[in-house]
Every structure is written in C-alpha cells, then in structure tokens.
Structure 1
Amino acid sequence: MSIEPFTLQLTRPLETARGPIHQRDGFLVRIEYAEETGVGEATPLPGWTESLSDCRDALERAPELAREEDWGVALGETNAPAARHALAVALADAKARARGVPLYRSLGSDELVHRVPVNATVGDADPAETAERAAEAVADGFGCVKVKVGARSVTADADRLQAVREAVGPDVTLRADANGAWDRAEAERALDSFASFGLQYVEQPLPASEVPAHAALRSAGTVPIALDESLSARSVTDVLATDAADYLVLKPMALGGPDRARQAARQARQAGVTPVVSTTIDGVVARTAAVHVAAAIPDVPACGLATAAWLESDMCRDPAPVAAGEIEVPQTDGLGVSPDEQ
C-alpha cells in the first residue's frame, strides 16, 4: 500500500461551520489486491470527518493490521471515515477490476447505467442575480437547481426563491439548502414562506444535532425535509428512526466509503426515505466513486456530484464529465480513474 499526499486549490472559498476553506488536502492511496492495483482517496473535511493528521495516522496503521489479519479486518477497525473511504474505494476498485466490471455493478446494480442526473448549485446573491444564475444553469441543461439560503433574512430568501421560480418556470426541480443556518422559529417561518414555490425539499434547515426538531418540522408537512449535516452527528439508523427526513443526502467520504453509502441508501429506501448522493468537494478519485454509488441506486434523483468546477486543477483526467444536467458514469473496469494519466 502506498500513501501519497496531495493539495488541490479551490476556485473560490468553501464556507463551512469552521470558516472558509481555500484548498482540499488529502491522500491518494494505492492497494494491491487480487493481482490488481486499486486507487482510493481520503480528503478529510473539518466538521464532517477526522482531521488530516488523524487521517494519515489511520491510513498508516491499516497495512500492518491487514498483514496481521486481512483487509476486511483493517476496514472494520478503521474508524476514521475519510481514511476508511480511501481504503474501501481502493479495495473496491481492485476487486471490480479483477471481476472485469465497473465499480457501480459491483456495488449491486443489475442495470447498465450510463448517466446520473445532477443538480446545479446557486450560491447567495440578490434576487436578480440568483435568478439569472439559475436560468443560466437551466439553459445549460440542468433540470434541478439547488439554491443556497440562510445567509439572509427569511423574507429576503423567499424573494430570491420566488425570483428563481419565475425565471426557470414550473417544470424545473427546485431545492433550497440552509446548511443548518436557522433556529426553530426561523425554520418554521421559512418553510411557510417557501411553501408556494414548489420546492422538492429544504435541506438541513436546523443545526446538525437537532434531529428531533427536524422531525417536528417534517411532521408539519409544509415542505419536505432533507438532512445532510445531521449524518455527521448521528448514524443513518438513528436519523431514520426519528422520522426526521424525507430525503437523506449521502456523502461517501463522510460515511466512510462507497459500501457504507450504498448500504445507507438501501436503509433509506426501506424506510420510505429518498437517498441523494453528494460529495465533500473531493478530488477526482472520490468524486468518481460517488458517481458509481449514485449509479448503483435505482431511480436516484438529481445528485450533488457536479463539483469538479470547485477545483482549479485535479489529480488526473476526469472520467465523469457533466453535460446537459447529467454526469457520465465510467464503464471501464473498476473505478475508471487513472491517477497517472493526465
């Protein structure tokens, strides 16, 4: 096993609860398994996963544990989610290569999937600019637009969403993402104010830890609720048990690997909750692994996978480009990423 550090500069700062991030630091991992070499990526994100140093420590412990036991035990004993993600992707890549199938087929898909729908994301701006950006995304072929809300007053955000709906028409799927910005009273006002805009859902209206409060919001039935950040604070099983969400936004890096993300999607569907796959603004290896996870989920709605534009450059050629609101699913054996190919 090899561990290679990397740094990817962002085109613009990524705002998080711990402040802006200007670059993504992580590790490219290669594992030899079943006479194949698989590649994985660990790109920790503060607030979601372990720290960069803890990630490196976990990766460095894994080969010794694998030699003493096996890679299955190493996966089971690696509790740092980003580190486990890298190991799980690399092993899954090698196994799928050995079987001669694309990774999504080895994750359980019985169908040939060439493309997965993706959403465009529109950040904070005044109503006119927000509507213009949304209209541009629709003109580029996106059938689903997610608008960031919560940085302004509820009234201002309602004006922005109204402008977007008027600009894109009734047939475009519209989502709003608050990133946990509101308290309970603000969230209730927002859902009431947004009810007439035909939103597919409002994502993470309350802080991550307030899962029972999300359940109360959902029970009001004003606008469907999606949970994202809450999955960093509670397990998928716990979140589903509270009936707090209509949708779960699954980030394979934060969950600990594509296998766990696929299992979470199965759990969600069994509970009557719709899974959506997203990234933590990762490099090409992890981003492509998330594409395979989405491809393995039947009838998956538009996913948050069109994130390559956040990066000034990447580790290698992107095998999963976005066009007309869909992302291409690699059909080559394994993951479909060649880090040595520029």
Structure 2
Amino acid sequence: MATISKVETFMVDLKPKVKRVDAIQSFVSQETPFVVITDSEGKQGIGYSYTIGQGGGAIMSLLSETLLPQLIGREAEEIDRIWRDLLFSTHATAVGAITSLALAAIDTALWDLRCKRAGLPLFRMLGGAKESVPMYTTEGGWLHIETEDLVADALGAQAKGFSGSKVKIGKPHLAEDYARLSAVREAVGPNYEIMVDANQSLTRAEATRRAHMLEKLNIAWFEEPLPADDVLEHVGLAQSSTVPIAVGESMYSLSQFKDYLVAGGASIVQVDVARIGGITPWMKVAHLAEAHNVPVCPHFLMELHVSLVCAIPNAPWLEYIPQLDSLTKTPMKMENGRAFASLEPGLGIDWDFDAIEAAKIEQHSATFGG
C-alpha cells in the first residue's frame, strides 16, 4: 500500500479533427483537464476529463481549490472511499456536470495508478470480459454533412469492417432527415447498422413522428430524442415505438440511470466515463444495466472507453470519434472494424508528454504536495 504524496493538474485545449455540428451545437474544442497522482513509492497515475468547448476553467477551479488538496496522504488503493468523500465535500454542487467531470479526472488517475501498481491492463483489472469490440463511426455523420458525403462515409466505414454508422438528425422537417437516412440505407444494405442522434433537440410530438419514420428504415437506435432529464417522456416514446431509445451521455449520477432503467425509458445505456464522474461510478452503471438486460454503448472518449467496454459482457459497441491523436504516440489499436483494449498496465493510453507539455494552458496548472 502507498499513500498519495503529490498531485498535479493542468489543462490542454484540443481542436476537433473535423467539423462537428449536431442539432443543438458545434463542437468547437475539447478542453481537457488532466490530473497526475504520484504515490509515496514514486508510481504515477494519469487521468483526464473533457468539456466540449465550455466550462474547463470551472472544472480546474474545483479541482485546485476544493478536491485535489484533500488527496494528499490518502491511501491510493481506497478508490471508492476517496470518490465518495470527494463527492460529499462538493454536495452543494452535485449532482452536476462540473463536479462529475472534475471527479472523473481524479478517479481515472487513481485507476491508472492502481493498474500500474498491479501490472494489469485496465480491462482485465475490471473483469476482462473480452479483448476487442466492434465499432460504429460517428465522425462522418454530422448534421451539416451533405447526403452524398454521408453515403460515401458510410460505405467507406463498411469497407473497413465497421458494423455501423451514426447519422445526426434534427433537420427542420422530417422529410429532410428521411431523405438523408434513406440514401444511406439504400447504399449500405439491410445488414449494416444505422444509428441516429437528435441531441435532445425534439419535442415529444416531433420525436414520435420521427420514431415512426425510423421504424421503416430499421434504425438500430434513436439517441437523445428529448431533453435528458425528462424520464417520463422517454418512457412514453419507448412504449410507442419499436426503435430502441438510447440515453446517457447527458446524465451525471447512478440514480438517474436507475430511474430510466426501472421505468423502461432506456433500451441502450450510453454512460460517459467523464460525465458520470469516473471509472468507479461507470462500472456501477454498467452492472446496473446488465441487471436490467440492457446493453451499454458509451459516448465519446473511445481511447478510454475501449478498456471499459472490454471489461464487461453487456457492451456490444464502441463509438469511433478520434480526438487524442495529437497527444499520444500510438493510437488505439483497430483491425477490421474492431477496437482492441490495450494490454499495457494502466489505462493503456500512450501519452506523448512532449506534446502535452507544449499544449498546456499555463494559467490552469497547479501542484500539491511533493
């Protein structure tokens, strides 16, 4: 056992690799808070979180002023205890995105440290259900992309072995969404999955209309059709349509997922390891979903999620949206449309520390202990 002797935090701002637009927003940057935890034996764990272009400074403030000073002298192996203590210390701001995103940077660093101390890759430390997982791509399905380019991207992904493509919906009229999706379906055939994502942009009436349209095209799931905090409306939509309803990327606590699963409002759980507050609560959501016979298909952060989905039996997909290439020496391993969990001890992300150092935003750096 070893106690925490030093904690560092800093932030990097990553620009998206391609233009990303959905029904409610543009992905202008990825503000990426990092936490580096060093124990009394000199071992280090590195964790991170993210925002889509806003709120990074608030996360860094919460880390530096409230959370990180509490870590010095703590037993690094007591991850669940640390997570709960930190959550309680911020109970006035929880449940919420800023608190969860700050906790995630700490929690992922602690799990990286635990795995490195044990000499185990993350996916095996957490269960080791499988070594690889099929991928679907979102990167070529953004709302601004013209129909012919949607088709070309889906065909390209299919040729590479991907099993599905996600297409953003939420055009002003249903007919526009239908034309785009129909063109993709006609091109890829009946055995290639098409997912759709409305990014919480629709009313219940419009979501119902589109759900009936999606049934005709054999759509794999209908993601975030309504505001994520409206459980009852999602339940009603799920009961009125045969298209599976996917939610979770905009939820920040285990209890929120419990409410959806008990009520029958989620056919696909899309828990995001950063937005739920780290690996510790992510695994609890995954096991809760398994108890309800519901699959887990997490949102974004593929370089970290690949190890999590390979740790559990009820995760059939990984979302392909690359973002960390400029900060890593080697990318996530992919072959024939499948992603492979790293076999290296820790999170399995091969960080390029020179690139990280060059990209740091200095006003958001702080060190405690040491």
* TM-score with structure 2 setting the length: 0.81
**Match of residue 46 from structure 2:** 39
Superposed CA RMSD: 2.4
Query: Following TM superposition, by how much is the alpha carbon of 1:53 offset from its aligned partner in structure 2, in angstroms?
Result: 2.6
Separation in structure 2 between the aligned mates of residue 270 and residue 299 of structure 1, nearest angstrom:
10
1:214 aligns with 2:234: yes
Q: Are 1:89 and 1:289, in contact at CA under 8 Å, matched by a contact in 2?
A: no
Question: Cα gap change, 1:7/1:46 in structure 2, threshold over 3 Å: closer, same or farther?
Answer: closer
**Match of residue 308 from structure 2:** 293
**Match of residue 364 from structure 2:** none
1:329 to 341, 347, 351: 341
1:158 aligns with 2:178: yes
SS at match of 1:174: strand
**1:1-342 → structure 2 map (5 Å cutoff):** 1-15=7-21, 19-33=25-39, 35=41, 36-45=43-52, 51-60=55-64, 61-67=66-72, 70=75, 72=79, 73-79=81-87, 80-109=99-128, 111=129, 113-121=130-138, 122-124=141-143, 125-232=145-252, 235-279=256-300, 287-304=302-319, 306-308=320-322, 310=323, 314-339=326-351, 340=353
Question: Cα gap change, 1:139/1:17 in structure 2, threshold over 3 Å: closer, same or farther?
Answer: closer
Higher strand share: 1
- Structure 2: which 5+ runs fail to align? 1-6, 88-98, 356-370
Q: Are 2:296 and 2:314, in contact at CA under 8 Å, matched by a contact in 1?
A: no
Separation in structure 2 between the aligned mates of residue 212 and residue 120 of structure 1, nearest angstrom:
30
SS at match of 1:117: strand
* TM-score with structure 1 setting the length: 0.87
Separation in structure 2 between the aligned mates of residue 149 and residue 16 of structure 1, nearest angstrom:
8
Question: Cα gap change, 1:230/1:10 in structure 2, threshold over 3 Å: closer, same or farther?
Answer: closer
Task: Say how many residue pairs are matched.
Answer: 328
Query: Following TM superposition, by how much is the alpha carbon of 1:229 offset from its aligned partner in structure 2, in angstroms?
Result: 4.4
Separation in structure 1 between the aligned mates of residue 75 and residue 21 of structure 2, nearest angstrom:
39
Separation in structure 2 between the aligned mates of residue 315 and residue 96 of structure 1, nearest angstrom:
21
By relative contact order (CA 8 Å, sep 6+), the higher-ranking structure is 2
Question: Cα gap change, 1:55/1:16 in structure 2, threshold over 3 Å: closer, same or farther?
Answer: farther
Separation in structure 1 between the aligned mates of residue 172 and residue 333 of structure 2, nearest angstrom:
33
SS at match of 1:39: strand
Name which of structure 1's ranges 224-233 and 89-98 shifts more when overlaid on structure 2.
224-233
User: 1:116 is matched by which residue type in structure 2?
Assistant: V
Question: Cα gap change, 1:114/1:162 in structure 2, threshold over 3 Å: closer, same or farther?
Answer: same
Question: Cα gap change, 1:54/1:127 in structure 2, threshold over 3 Å: closer, same or farther?
Answer: closer
Separation in structure 1 between the aligned mates of residue 312 and residue 236 of structure 2, nearest angstrom:
28
Query: Following TM superposition, by how much is the alpha carbon of 1:42 offset from its aligned partner in structure 2, in angstroms?
Result: 2.5
Name which of structure 1's ranges 145-154 and 332-341 shifts more when overlaid on structure 2.
332-341
SS at match of 2:208: helix
